[in-house]
Amino acid sequence: MTLVQLRHFVVVADLGSYAQASATLFLTQPALTRSIQSLEQELGGALFDRLGRRIALTPFGQVVLVRARRLVSDAEALKQIGKGLHAGLIGKLRVGLSSAPGALLSVPLMLHMAQHHPRLQVEISRGNTAVLLNELREQHLDAAIVDIRSMRPSVDLQVAQAFELEAGFLARREHPLAQLGRAATLDEVMDYPVASTPLSDEVARILIARYGPQANPDDMVTLRCDETLSIVEAARRSNAIVLTVNAVAADLIRLDVSPALDASARFGLVTLAQRQEAPALRILREQLPIWVDQVTSPRTT
């Protein structure tokens, strides 16, 4: 068994096609088939079921794929270190950002890399927390910055850094509730469309404890979207009220609601436990506190 064979196996599994994999690997299809067959003989079991022109992982192949990804990934990390990539100046960094972190950190991340590490390949993936954590487990990402309140406890994931951002009900300055001269009630808030990204169970419990059952996000939120910038834009152009992190919309104001929400969102840099980290991840660790401070300090509520 060789790392080359394992890499062949991972590529075929990812693409689901010998023809596409052979083109990606610059191999003839017969050579790729022989490589996989040799690996199957050594491992003692079939990795793929052949269904006409289609292939699918066998249950055994699914188990092998998890370990093969890790071995191939670790070998690539060692290869990078051997070429001097430990400095993080060249190579690749794959980062997942959930909605609010994506809205706040995508531009600072790209600007910093463009200005200070122009040879470093940076790939930013956007998605909800569950999708990004799955991508992290599949080793398609080196790290993810997500809502850690939505994470289930897991031994294979670790939160390297955590930070909190103030959140509240935001609306445009001309909104009728901003002109009341007093705190609005939740009933008054709910007279208007309420927009939000999917909220964690913990946030739902906070809302219900503060305002009663009517604040259950399943009932209160009428505009739900995975993309924070989209719901913020809806609030800019209408009387919709957005429940989100204050810092994502400096031009919106935080509505005074009674009782006060006094809530925050909790995000964290999540990595895969017991995995060799990408060398460039050091840059992200160092810069993350600076970026968070930059995007939040100008905001006043």
pLDDT digit string, tens, across residues 244-282? 999 998 899 999 999 998 888 889 999 988 777 777 888
Mean pLDDT computed over 278-295 = 88
DSSP 71-121: HHHHHHHHHHHHTTGGGSSSEEEEEEE-HHHHHHHHHHHHHHHHHH-TTEE
Backbone phi, psi, residue 111, to 5° = -60, -45
Q: List, for residues 214-228, the tens digit of each pLDDT value.
A: 999 999 999 999 899
Fold of the 85-163+266-296 domain = D-Maltodextrin-Binding Protein; domain 2 (3.40.190)
Predicted TM-score (pTM) of the model is: 0.69
* Rounded to 5°, angle at Cα 134 from 225 and 231: 10
* Residue 30 pLDDT exceeds 50: yes
pLDDT for residue 196 is more than 90: yes
User: Which phi-psi region, left, alpha or beta, contains residue 236 (left: φ > 0; alpha: ψ -120 to 50)?
Assistant: alpha
What are the residue ranges spanned by the domains of the chain? Answer: 3-82, 85-163+266-296, 165-263
Query: Using one digit for the tens of pLDDT, what is the confidence trace for 134-155?
Result: 999 988 999 999 998 888 888 8
Q: What is the pLDDT of residues 83-139, one digit of tens each?
A: 555 455 667 899 999 999 999 999 999 999 999 888 888 999 998 899 999 999 988
CATH of the domain spanning 165-263, picked from 3.20.20.70, 3.40.630.10, 3.40.462.40, 3.40.190.290: 3.40.190.290
Domain 3-82: top CATH class: mainly alpha
Same fold: 85-163+266-296 with 165-263: yes
- Percentage of residues of the chain with pLDDT beyond 70: 95
Nearest alpha-carbon partner for 231 in 193, 202, 205: 193
Unique residue bearing structure tokens 């052949």:
50
